[in-house]
Homo-oligomer: A and B are copies of this chain.
Amino acid sequence: MNNLTVIKIGGNVIDNPNALNRFLTDFAKLLGDTILIHGGGKIATQVAEKLGVQTTMVDGRRITDQAMLDVVTMVYGGLVNKQIVAKLQALDINAIGLTGADANIILAQKRPVKDIDYGFVGDIIEVDSGRLQSFLHQELTPVIAPLTHDGAGNMLNTNADTMASAVAVDMSRHKAVTLVYCFEKKGVLSDPTNDDSVIRELTPALYTEYKTAGTINKGMIPKLDNAFNALRNGVERVVICHADEVAMALQEGAGTTLRVAANQPES
């Protein structure tokens, strides 16, 4: 079983052309199969503003009405996705830009309304990892925008962190998967005021400790929950690191590596 690295890059990389170019240059050099999942960045908010579409965020998640769905479909599925694909092509990576609707790779359902109506937000039902595996076999590199569809004709906005976890889990049927979350810090920090206080290895016990102490803050919690969930469901390794340090992190020289006893007994 050969290796696959699923990498998620966030808005901070996408919003900064130099950071994006640096990341893509490093990404193009990675060995083994790769899948790239990108977030949205601030461009969607800026485009929405100019188009007169209101942006409402609840708990860090965008409320997606029809007008906002059109904006994110444009910006994530069009502008951001195709810019990344074109740049990877220039780096001799045969990238293929996809949303969940394309080749039906990620089917979702509109999130049921409980306390909050998130609008056109998709909770993932199924990843067609067989199709993604087939694309990798054809030497294509999937570049996936944080959009899914409901199978009934509607696109849905989907959180990129969750999507990366779901793709990594499902791909672990076919390959030994490493999941990498890139963000603006060098890893999970034990001291939020010190950028160099990277926790090298994070176990569930340690995670609980940091959460209780309030050291690991609100925004990190869903990311880490996604990450531990992936580890418990077949993903071999999860790394959280700065976008500039992906290559180093994959050689275990940077970032935070998550460990659960069950699948990493040797460490």
Contact = CB atoms under 8 A, between A and B. Distances in A.
Interface stretch (A44-52, A166-174, A207-215, A217-225): A44-52
Interface stretch (A2-10, A86-94, A190-198, A243-251): A86-94
Contacts of A37: none
Interface in A60-82: 70, 73-79, 81-82
Contacts of A50: 50-52
Interface string A123-163: 00000000000100010100000010111111100000000
A154 B70 CA distance: 24
A199 interface: no
Contacts of A83: 73, 155
A89 B74 contact: no
B74 A99 contact: no
Contact of A101 (B85, B154, B155): B85
Contacts of A52: 50
A233 interface: no
A36 to B, nearest CB: 13
Interface string A91-103: 0001111110111
Copies of this chain held together in the complex: 2
Contact of A77 (B82, B87, B95, B104): B82
A47 B67 CA distance: 12
A52 B97 CA distance: 28
B85 A78 contact: no
A74 B151 CA distance: 22
A159 B94 CA distance: 24
Contacts of A79: 70, 73-74, 77-78
A17 to B, nearest CB: 11
A101 B96 CA distance: 8
A139 to B, nearest CB: 10
B89 A97 contact: no
A159 B181 CA distance: 38
Contacts of A89: 101, 104, 149, 151, 153
The 10 A-B pairs with the shortest beta carbon distances in the complex, nearest first, are A78-B78, A90-B153, A74-B74, A77-B78, A74-B78, A96-B103, A86-B149, A74-B79, A86-B101, A85-B101
Given A85-B102, A89-B149, A96-B98, 16 more contacts: A47-B51, A47-B74, A50-B50, A73-B79, A73-B82, A75-B78, A77-B77, A77-B82, A86-B101, A86-B149, A89-B104, A89-B151, A90-B151, A90-B152, A95-B103, A97-B101
